[in-house]
Structure 1
Amino acid sequence: MKIILTGSLGHIGQPLAQQLVREGHAVTVISSKADKRAAIEALGATAAIGSLEDADFLATTFADADAVYCMVPPNMAAPDVLAHYRTIGHSYAQAIQQAGVRRVVHLSSWGADLDQGTGFILGSHQVEGILNALPDVALTHLRPGSFYYNLYGFVGMIKVQGIIGSNYGGEDVIVLSAPTDIAAAAAEELTKTAAPGTRVRYLASDERPAREVARALGTAIGQPDLQWLTFDDKQTQRALEAQGVPAHIATSYVELGASIHSGAMRQGYLQHQPQTMGKVKAEDFAKEFATAFQKA
């Protein structure tokens, strides 16, 4: 199969490209950075260098593709983060139509079923809506849980304060996903036959209360009593802004955390739970976390 991947050689893109190349597919990886060309070609894939905002470039790259994997690279520096999502979403939609692509797999997120109160995840919701309007396309939205590597953001707090703290924690259940598990699911979707229409597939590697995640991380770093405390929204907003996070970005983080705390983020997941969980559990990731913690 001829398969086009967006996302360059990121956390998901690289293992996804490696798996598809091993399986014998003709893989093209799109990157905005010319210096990624050599690394892409070293994997046995073809590099296409250009901007995701350039629909004509995308349409040319998508030509004759059997399947396309679409993701929106986060851009927290954008003046309007949600507008960034919509711009890329419309670019994908235009290119898919121009190139006549019939199979699309879109990296979305848990919580993308909600149309408010999820911070940045609202961008995934909006892109889903844009792509859902495409006619005669077999479209799958992958909705993974929170990426494990987001937990690296707590390294500094643990080192300075000896705790994890946010506006969710304690008994709040977090759905967690490893990039390698997401890549495996994306490869499966890209290479199987699918009828026209829209399908949603939730993905998870593990599902734990925050206190259990803290225990797994704490045990790995030699702090088995590590606690994940819950602050209120105002405390969290102030703390983020004190760290230099712009107010509008801090507000999005707070909204996202509040939706996890309330359980709203998890409702769609509970209605459509994965038949099988991913391989990487919290204790597996904790080993990687410990290595990063020691180096920080």
Structure 2
Amino acid sequence: MGHMGIPWGKFLCNISYKYRFAANKNHIIMKIVITGSLGNIGRSLTERLVKAGHNITVISSSENKKEAIQTIGANAAIGSIMDEAFLAETFKGADVVYTMIPDNLQVSDYTNYITQIAQTYANALTIAGVSQLVNLSSNGAHLKEGAGPISSMFHDEAIFNNIDGLVVKHLRPASFYINYYNSIPLIRNTGMMGSNYPGTTKLLLTHPLDIADAAFEEITGPFSSNKIRFIASDEKTGTEVAHILGNAIGKPDLKWVEFTNEQFIGGLLQSGHLSKHAAEGLAEMGIALGNGRITEEFYKNKPVLSKRKFEEFAIEFAKVYNQA
């Protein structure tokens, strides 16, 4: 990938795909495989693709998800994303595959975790002969190091970019709105929220449904060359986030507090849900957010913000907060 010219195999594949895509407007069905089960992005994405008339297979590690997947109108493939043979068999004959890697902040080496799964995907895609891929990456994936878990996505993208004959579109969304659900215990116990960067830091934030919309567009659109698509729904500072969420939950005095790295890591470890490696990685990510390195490529490309604004999410946040 990235060299001059297009190999004939890829060229013919692209031509045939363009014909299939044109025919799809006349209800020719595409076979699409979705990883990530029915998560925050996967459910909406699957529903849209099924509604558009495509043949969808959803991969899930949980047998309990099978009925829900089938109820939507998709096929369920139950197995592990670390099982190369299972993935290759499931990917076989697919026009497009959508890949994502689930978070696991309890692992001792996050980069190794990411690269292992990405390489397993890559091997299976190659065995199955898949030529079109949409991959969920992250804003900040241009940073090989210095951005905590986000830097792991640099390696994720590189693995897919190096597959001969594969056209890949990388989705680089900004931080998810729903990450703020993790702040609910802190808000309840201390009456504040924050991170290891100042409240004046400009944050790019994304609603998962806006990511699903972008994924739908890229999966059903033509594949001509490798592509990066940046996704963000809104821009807010930490102070603005605290003010908006505070008003939504009846705490108008909710403040954003800047923690030291030591305080931030200590607080994460107290939750009992993260490894020390993950906590230190998130602190590193916070530093890279605070100094603007994570968002620099987004602003260079100046994409249009998506439609679901943070004030709308605040209503969803309040419902979750009040039920917690």
Q: Same fold (TM over 0.5)?
A: yes
Match of 2:323 in 1: 295
What SS does the aligned partner of 2:226 have? strand
Match of 2:63 in 1: 34
2:253 is aligned with 1:207: no
Which digits, 9 at most, give the CA deviation of each residue in 1:73-97, with x for residues without a partner?
Answer: 1122323222111111001111111
Among 3, 28, 48, the alignment partner of 1:19 is: 48
Q: Residues 173-192 of structure 1: matches in 2 within 5 Å?
A: 173-192=202-221
Mark the runs of 5 or more structure 2 residues left unpaired by the alignment: 1-29
Aligned amino acid, residue 55 of structure 2: A
2:258 is aligned with 1:219: no
1:50 shift after superposition: 1.0
Which digits, 9 at most, give the CA deviation of each residue in 1:216-250, with x for residues without a partner?
Answer: 10110112232111122122123323443432221
What SS does the aligned partner of 1:288 have? helix
Aligned amino acid, residue 72 of structure 1: I
Aligned length: 294
Mark the runs of 5 or more structure 1 residues left unpaired by the alignment: none
Q: Residues 140-151 of structure 1: matches in 2 within 5 Å?
A: 140-151=169-180
Q: TM-score, normalised by structure 1?
A: 0.96
Which 4+ runs in 1 deviate beyond 4 A? none
Among 260, 276, 286, the alignment partner of 1:232 is: 260
Give the distance between the partners of 1:74 and 1:246, measured in 2 at CA. Answer: 13
2:279 is aligned with 1:255: no
Larger radius of gyration: 2
Moved more, 41-50 or 276-285: 276-285
Give the distance between the partners of 1:271 and 1:119, measured in 2 at CA. Answer: 22
Give the distance between the partners of 1:50 and 1:293, measured in 2 at CA. Answer: 34
| Alpha-carbon RMSD | 1.2
Q: Residues 44-193 of structure 1: matches in 2 within 5 Å?
A: 44-193=73-222
Give the distance between the partners of 1:73 and 1:236, measured in 2 at CA. Answer: 23
Give the distance between the partners of 2:143 and 2:152, measured in 1 at CA. Answer: 11
Moved more, 185-194 or 166-175: 166-175
1:162 shift after superposition: 1.1
Moved more, 233-242 or 219-228: 233-242
